[in-house]
């Protein structure tokens, strides 16, 4: 996903915390209060750890008049530990009509948004089972999608119904029953949407069937053939025009490109989406081939700004440059931010996924850095560095960008631009661009492709491949709001200037090199929490400048 502004995200975060943290609660680190509701939603409790979802078969009927849905979800799962109870998730205001297993109606209880399903016998390890949940209700309506999450019931310019969903953060369980934890991605899914005749339903993956249900309704069935995290499963309902293109890779593989747009925007889309092919080739160079080749790549016009739905990216930038027509680059680049950023999520978030929302920075930090990859590919390294550093002023450094594990809490909205600036810092610490791109591509295209992961695994990979211990560096940037601060002084004596310096950090035994320009020549110095000195030949003290363009740090000159 993307940010609108850190101020807006902070306000929404504070508001949600105030709402969710009332009532029964306990105090955790950093004076944050979490409820049992948060733990039920965010933790891998025994009732969740005991099973692994293989496949979802979701079928929904949309009532556009009453803004409601009804349908069922069949959940195919493998038992990992013996159990007679499992936890599913569905927002408590949505009614469950029944839960079936082997033609038997199962008993269940609900606590907040958790649904505890009880079986009449113990399920054995490695057995495969299917439960079907039938349900109905009115999902949460997003007041300001995609930031607050929920359904969007709207109309296009010609008065036709135009319906969509964006639920990152809020969760897939806001509209369909599932195991709503990022650690468990289904291997595949089928979704059927029954909509008023005359409208189309566009979901992830491949359209495998379109059939007439009645004179008034049509069913569209889509199949997703890759693992997918639950918040990425989507639908888009409207009077769409569809056009198709393709991209041939150098090895001969052909990627299908599908575009679903409002009819009155067809010509705009053909011009605007010319950016897609060069972007995908840039990403192939640095990140590997598009991960979901069988399911294809699609942009789907939506009534909200955008979202990274796997293989069906929500596009609502209204065929403008930048971000809603604004120069989001801050350096005058006029590419369509929504196309570039949300496509980056196909690698970061959709293929490489975090197993706990606390590590959402893996999705957003790496994806924001992918914007810089695009800029470097298209406009050169110097322009990419300019692009990265233009975002420094937007980082507030008020809270950690890594959240708390097990309570469904993501880190601060700084994870976007601070994440990008952190990675640029690490790139310069690695100090070898060829090795750097091997590491990045190794994460996205090999080691963690189509996998769930966490901060420790990613950092260990960086350490192993770079041959450097970067753990303290990542820890400072991820776990603390404060940037590493270089405390330094400069003294001139004769033709020499002496630099005395040390790192001031929350992390003990912190080690990170210091980069300085001396008469515009770059020097790399060892750095830690102890005072160190280095002398240089100089004409004036101003000959020595801290290279803050290579490091996202604070400085304190004594």
Same domain, 207 and 343: no
User: At residue 162, does pLDDT exceed 90?
Assistant: yes
CATH code (residue 523): 2.60.40
Residue 255: inside a domain: yes
Question: How wide is the angle at C-alpha 375 spanned by C-alphas 373 and 380, nearest 5°?
Answer: 100
- Cα separation values, 181 from 142, 270, 330, 352, 355, Å: 21, 38, 36, 15, 8
pLDDT confidence bin for 68, thresholds 50/70/90: very high
Cβ neighbours of residue 290 closer than 8 Å, sequence gap 6 or more: 255, 280, 283, 284, 297, 346
Return phi, psi of residue 336, to 5°: -80, 105
| pLDDT tens track for 237-264 | 999 999 999 999 999 999 999 999 999 9
Q: What is the DSSP string of 401-459?
A: SS--TTTT----GGGTHHHHHHHHHHHHHH--HHHHHHHHHHIIIIISTTEEE-HHHHH
| pLDDT tens track for 107-131 | 999 999 999 999 999 999 999 999 9
Same domain, 501 and 461: no
Residue 469: inside a domain: yes
Q: Which domain holds residue 497?
A: 485-557
Query: Over pLDDT 70: what percentage of the chain?
Result: 94
Same domain, 311 and 324: yes
Mean pLDDT throughout 367-373?
A: 98
User: At residue 3, does pLDDT exceed 90?
Assistant: no
Residue 13: inside a domain: no
Q: Identify the pLDDT of residue 26.
A: 27
- For residue 256, how many other CB atoms are within 10 A of its CB? 15
User: At residue 450, does pLDDT exceed 80?
Assistant: yes
Residue 170: inside a domain: yes
Split into its structural domains, the chain has a count of 3
- Cα separation values, 4 from 144, 323, 401, Å: 11, 9, 17
Same domain, 87 and 50: yes
The Cα 498–Cα 537 span in angstroms is 9
More confident residue, 14 or 344: 344
Residue 36: inside a domain: no
The Cα 383–Cα 376 span in angstroms is 7
CATH code (residue 221): 2.60.40.1730
Residue 150 pairs in a beta bridge with 166
Same domain, 51 and 191: yes
User: At residue 337, does pLDDT exceed 80?
Assistant: yes
Same domain, 91 and 69: yes
User: At residue 214, does pLDDT exceed 70?
Assistant: yes
Residue 2: inside a domain: no
Q: Identify the pLDDT of residue 365.
A: 98
| pLDDT tens track for 21-44 | 332 222 234 567 899 999 999 999
Helix, strand, or coil (residue 175): coil
User: At residue 459, does pLDDT exceed 70?
Assistant: yes
Same domain, 273 and 368: yes
Same domain, 354 and 440: yes
Same domain, 271 and 300: yes
Of 311, 319, 383, nearest in space to 342 by CA: 311
- Give a three-class secondary structure readout of 354-410: ECCHHHHHHHHHHHHHHHHHHHHHHHCHHHHHHHHHCCHHHCCCCCCCCCCCCCCCC
Contact between 196 and 217 under an 8 Å Cβ cutoff? The reply is yes
The Cα 42–Cα 436 span in angstroms is 34
| pLDDT tens track for 141-152 | 999 999 999 999
| pLDDT tens track for 465-490 | 999 999 999 999 999 999 999 999 99
Same domain, 416 and 328: yes
Q: What is the mean pLDDT of the chain?
A: 94
Same domain, 190 and 291: no
CATH code (residue 347): 1.10.390.10
Same domain, 49 and 167: yes
Last residue of a domain, one of 458, 481, 504: 481
Residue 23: inside a domain: no
Burial (CB count within 10 angstroms: exposed 0-12, middle 13-18, buried 19+), residue 78:
middle
Mean pLDDT throughout 213-220?
A: 97
Q: Identify the pLDDT of residue 336.
A: 98
Residue 7: inside a domain: no
User: At residue 512, does pLDDT exceed 60?
Assistant: yes
pLDDT confidence bin for 15, thresholds 50/70/90: very low
Last residue of a domain, one of 214, 239, 264: 239
Last residue of a domain, one of 427, 460, 481: 481
Residue 141 pairs in a beta bridge with 151
């Amino acid at each position: 996903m993307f940010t609108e502004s850190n101020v807006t995200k902070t306000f929404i975060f504070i508001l949600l915390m105030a709402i969710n943290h009332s009532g029964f609660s306990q105090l955790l680190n950093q004076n944050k209060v979490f409820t049992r509701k948060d733990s039920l939603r965010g933790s891998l409790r025994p009732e969740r750890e005991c099973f692994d979802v293989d496949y979802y078969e979701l079928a929904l009927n949309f009532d556009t008049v009453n803004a409601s849905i009804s349908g069922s979800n069949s959940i195919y799962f493998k038992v990992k530990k013996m159990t007679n109870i499992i936890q599913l998730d569905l927002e408590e205001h949505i009614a469950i009509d029944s839960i079936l297993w082997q033609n038997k109606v199962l008993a269940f209880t609900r606590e907040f948004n958790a649904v505890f399903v009880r079986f009449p016998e113990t399920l054995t390890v490695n057995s495969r089972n299917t439960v079907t949940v039938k349900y109905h209700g009115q999902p949460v309506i997003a007041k300001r999608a995609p930031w607050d999450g929920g359904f969007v019931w709207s109309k296009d310019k010609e008065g036709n119904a135009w319906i969509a969903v964006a639920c990152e953060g809020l969760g897939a369980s806001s509209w369909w029953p599932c195991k709503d934890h990022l650690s468990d991605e289904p291997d595949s899914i089928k979704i059927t949407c029954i909509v008023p005749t005359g409208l189309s339903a566009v979901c992830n993956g491949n359209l495998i069937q379109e059939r007439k249900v009645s004179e008034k309704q049509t069913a569209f069935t889509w199949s997703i053939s890759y693992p997918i995290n639950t918040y990425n499963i989507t639908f888009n309902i409207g009077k769409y025009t569809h056009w198709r293109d393709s991209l041939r890779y150098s090895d001969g593989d052909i990627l299908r490109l599908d575009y679903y747009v409002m009819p009155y925007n067809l010509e705009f889309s053909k011009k605007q989406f010319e950016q897609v092919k060069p972007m995908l080739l840039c990403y192939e160079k640095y990140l590997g081939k598009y991960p979901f080749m069988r399911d294809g790549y699609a942009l789907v016009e939506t009534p909200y700004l955008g979202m990274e739905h796997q293989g069906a990216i929500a596009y609502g930038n209204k065929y403008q440059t930048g971000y809603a027509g604004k120069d989001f680059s801050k350096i005058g680049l006029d590419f369509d931010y929504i196309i570039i950023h949300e496509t980056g999520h196909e690698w970061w978030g959709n293929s490489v996924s975090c197993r706990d929302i606390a590590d959402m920075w893996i999705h957003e930090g790496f994806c924001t850095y992918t914007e810089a990859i695009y800029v470097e590919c298209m406009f050169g390294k110097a322009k990419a560095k300019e692009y990265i550093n233009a975002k420094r002023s937007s980082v507030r450094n008020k809270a950690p960008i890594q959240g708390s594990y097990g309570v469904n809490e993501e880190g601060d909205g700084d994870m976007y631009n601070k994440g990008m600036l952190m990675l640029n810092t690490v790139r310069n610490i690695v100090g070898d661009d060829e090795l750097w791109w091997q590491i990045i591509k190794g994460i996205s295209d090999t080691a963690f492709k189509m996998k769930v992961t966490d901060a420790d695994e990613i950092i260990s990979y960086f350490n192993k491949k770079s041959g450097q211990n970067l753990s303290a560096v990542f820890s400072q940037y991820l776990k603390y709001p404060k940037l590493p601060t270089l405390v330094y002084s400069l003294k001139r004596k004769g033709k020499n200037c002496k630099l005395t310096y040390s790192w001031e950090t929350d992390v003990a035994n912190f080690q990170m090199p210091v980069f300085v320009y001396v008469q515009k020549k770059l020097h790399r110095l060892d750095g830690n929490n102890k005072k160190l000195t280095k002398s240089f030949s100089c004409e004036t003290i101003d000959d020595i400048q801290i290279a803050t363009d290579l490091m996202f740090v604070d400085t304190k000159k004594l």
